[in-house]
C-alpha cells in the first residue's frame, strides 16, 4: 500500500486553538483536551480538523492526522492570491477575503491567518 501522506517536512502545520473541557463525575472533574489544527502544503491544499484526547500531545497528533485526511484544493493566481472576493458565513460570523497585489502580505487575524498561511496565500 502506498504512503498516502507526504513527508512530515512538506506540510505546514499549525495549532489554532487548544480547549480544555471538563466532565463532572462523582469524584470531581475529568479533564480532556480539544485541539483545532490546520495543515497545508503551501501550494493550494489545506485541511482543518479537531483532535480530542486526554492529553495535549495526543489531541494535536489526532488533529494532524484527521486534517491530512481532509485536504481540499484552493485555486490560487500566479501572484499567490485568491482569484476573486469571497464572503464566508456561518451562523453570526462572517469572513471577507479580498485579493491583493504583490507585496501586500496577509492582512488577517487569528485562525484566518493560520489557514491562509497553510494554503500558501502570500497577498490577501
Residue pointed to by grid coordinates 472533574: 29
Task: Assess if residue 22 is contained within a domain.
Answer: yes
Q: What is the bridge-based pairing of β-strands 93-97 and 28-40?
A: unpaired
Task: Assess if residue 44 is contained within a domain.
Answer: yes
Task: Assess if residue 69 is contained within a domain.
Answer: yes
Q: What is the pLDDT of residue 1?
A: 44
pTM score of the predicted model:
0.82
Task: Assess if residue 56 is contained within a domain.
Answer: yes
Q: What is the pLDDT of residue 109?
A: 87
Task: Assess if residue 115 is contained within a domain.
Answer: no
pLDDT higher than threshold 90 for residue 7: no
Q: What is the pLDDT of residue 6?
A: 54
Task: Assess if residue 82 is contained within a domain.
Answer: no
Residue 54 · residue 23 · CB < 8 Å:
no
Cell of 71: 485536504
Domain of residue 12 covers 8-73
Helices (H), 70-122: 111-119
Q: Give the chain's domain count.
A: 1
Task: Assess if residue 85 is contained within a domain.
Answer: no
Amino acid at each position: 500500500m502506498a504512503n498516502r501522506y507526504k513527508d512530515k517536512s512538506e506540510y505546514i502545520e499549525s495549532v489554532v486553538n487548544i480547549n480544555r473541557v471538563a466532565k463532572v463525575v462523582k469524584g470531581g472533574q475529568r479533564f480532556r483536551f480539544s485541539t483545532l489544527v490546520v495543515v497545508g502544503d503551501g501550494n493550494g491544499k489545506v485541511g482543518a480538523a479537531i483532535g480530542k484526547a486526554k492529553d495535549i500531545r495526543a489531541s494535536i497528533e489526532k488533529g494532524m492526522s484527521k486534517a491530512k485526511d481532509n485536504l481540499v484544493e484552493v485555486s490560487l493566481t500566479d501572484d499567490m492570491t485568491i482569484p476573486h472576493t469571497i464572503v464566508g458565513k456561518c451562523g453570526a460570523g462572517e469572513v471577507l477575503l479580498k485579493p491583493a497585489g504583490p507585496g501586500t502580505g496577509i492582512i488577517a487575524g487569528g485562525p484566518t491567518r493560520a489557514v491562509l498561511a497553510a494554503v500558501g496565500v502570500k497577498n490577501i
